[in-house]
Amino acid sequence: MSQRVSLLFGVHAHQPVGNFSNVLMDAHIRCYRPFLQVLHRYPDFRFAVHFSGWLLDYLMQEFPEDMALLQEMVARKQVELFGAGDTEPVLAVIPNSDRIGQIEAFSKKLASRLGQRPQGAWLTERVWESTVIPALADCGIRYVIVDDYHFLCAGKTHAELNGYFTTEEDSRKLDLFPISESLRYKIPFAPADETIAYLESLADQWTPDTCAAAVYFDDIEKFGIWPETYQWVYEKGWLERFIQGVLASDKICTQHYSEYHASEKTRGIVYLPTVSYIEMNEWTLPAESANTYADLVQQAKSSGWYEQKKAYLRGGIWKNFFSRYPESNWMHKRMLGLSARFHQLQKTRRTRLMQQKLYESQANDAYWHGLFGGLYLPHLRRAIYNSLVELETLLDARLPRPDYFTEDTDLDGVAEAYLQNGILQAVIKLDSFASICELDAYRLHHNFGDTLRCQAEHYYQKIQPGQNHAASHSASGIASAHDRVSYKHEINAEDIIPDDHPRSLFVDRLDGMFISYHSKAAALENNHFQSANTEYPIHKQFVLDGNRLQVIYHFSAKMAHVFITEINLAMPSCDGVGARYRHHGEILGGLGQLLQLKDINEIALDDDTLGGNVVLATSSPVTLRAHPHFTVSQSESGFEKIMQAVTVQLEWPIITQELIITLEINAWNR
């Protein structure tokens, strides 16, 4: 018997819930379609594929002819389908009942639409915690794939990682395949013949008792969407040369994971630590800690011992995103609360729409940020809140809540007050700012408090202010997105200054200084807050009246001081053409523009994407200053500025003892 290596080749295709239709279209044209077309021409090349559930639904509806290629490849046993949670959640951070529901929903979808129920599963972002084992096993999943790095962190060596291992939790067992980091960085970036030569060298690990496996499973978007990859993979023929070279080799055979799993024995028991892929170690850490970690990694590389001992130089875990980003943590805890309410209902009172909205709110992308991850993208966070707010509407109809209650939703030691009337909901953070951290319009399924503050990021040290140059090219092959430094927008020093206050609604200042409120009074005095400054006492009260939120300020007397309140409004169109300021029928400009008006007491913010508007009115004339709030982030396309909200500042010299600010939220044709 000749020595051969089994190539277990898999790709993962995913688009976030709520992504733009033009992005989905472009991804299909540059990646999904050509990839399927090329692979369809080589029926002997066996491979595995995972399309996330929301993306699969979209492709089956919009591109049935292309997806028929996938169906045919499944039918002729060229393709093995992999399961997961239906909306691509990180399984470790959702309740176990939802894990089972998500996995089972997707397995049934694959069986009904493509004719194959999966035996293996893709783990979102390869986030491993042993707590996910029971749900996977209970849903009939026999094996998952994780990085070889996970195994190295458990003390395994590279030489041992040429097959699969077994683990267990709560009397359920699961087998684990280690994805080769070397292959992840070679495919498709290194020349095809170089990659094939590397695969052939692995055949030497074959013994009479075992067959070595070369395990590859990574994002399909590397085959056409990442910078330069469409030309490299398709126009210059990398993918065809790779497939032809593999099929022509007498040392490589392609197999399904299921075939290898059935024919080979486990390499033994293993217990993996809580970990994700190696790059995530840095991304999950706060900036200062991430910089320290990056410095240690660089020192290790310079000293020549990094590759041998990198498993013992570890950063954070995926859940650190919740402690690092308050906005992510808030979304997550709101989701957990609504999941608990959903499961409190008798099964006969739950609806399919409720379950759909719950699962959509668990989609991973908007909860994290690194080189990838969508926390910085407003449209992805908006998709989460659209589902959360709609789910809350449905649950309130079956399981009503009080009009007012307090709880510490985000577990930060500071309670929040919920004020709702079935039309609007204002969530007031009971800290010194006494501002609104969430403002929901139930008819619009929208949270106007969904924004993101500026905070320090570890990659800011790479930014050279004023630069907008493109990435440099590598000498051979093409560069991975991880190795690029490029600019989509010009970034200035002031763009990366961290915020010194939350980007919420009604953050107040007196003569430029933040006003500190006694928040404990809220529970006793009907949302009535009093400033801590007894020399210039200010009282603040929140009132809901139908589709209007009123914020009432009482001043003890006329004062020779200037009062300013800042209102950060998440408007879906951001700086696009569908959003504008309007005053008495006159359009004043887009929401992405600067605006300053004196002696004004009403202005409307119209938004076509929202399908409604916000009318801001004041009981006395004020000076209004408005500007777009941007944050700077890094993606695979480079450093970019993203509009998060409209920041409206109302300035008022204290000349009367009361100022009432009203936000009237209107839905068009709903």
Return d(Cα 107, Cα 53) in angstroms, integer: 10
Write out the DSSP string of 215-280.
EEEEEGGGTTTSTTHHIIIIIS-HHHHHHHHHHH-SSEEE--HHHHHHHS----B--PPSB--TTH
Distance CA 609, CA 667 (A): 11
Q: Measure Cα distances from 410 to 391, 455, 607 in Å.
A: 19, 19, 30
Q: Are 431 and 437 in contact (CB under 8 A)?
A: no
| Residue pointed to by tokens 């890094």 | 634
Helix (H) or strand (E) holding 642: strand 638-653
Full DSSP string of 517-544: EEGGGGGTTTSEEEES-SSS-EEEEEEE
Question: How crowded is the C-beta side of 143, counted as CA atoms within 13 Å?
Answer: 21
Q: How far is CA 534 from CA 282, 555, 651, in A?
A: 46, 11, 22
Structure letter (DSSP) for residue 515: P
The DSSP code sequence of 466-504 is T--PPPPPPSSS---GGG---BSS---GGGGPPPSS---
CA-based torsion, 54, 57, 63, 68: positive or negative: positive
Residue in 253, 234, 216, 239 with CA at minimum distance from that of residue 46: 253
Catalytic sites, residue numbers:
125, 219
**Secondary structure string (H, E, C) spanning 151-182:** HHHCCCCHHHCCCCEEEEECCEEEEEEEECHH
* Whole-angstrom distance, CA of residue 448 vs CA of residue 567: 10
**Whether 486 contacts 471, CB under 8 Å:** yes
| Contacts for 185 with CB less than 8 Å, ≥ 6 apart | 480
10 Å CB burial of residue 397 (0-12, 13-18, 19+) is: exposed
Crossing angle (nearest 10°) for helices 33-40 and 238-248: 30
Please give the backbone phi and psi of residue 44, each rounded to the nearest 5 degrees, phi first.
Answer: -80, -10
The number of C-alpha atoms within 13 Å of 25 and in the hemisphere containing its C-beta is 3
Distance CA 311, CA 346 (A): 47
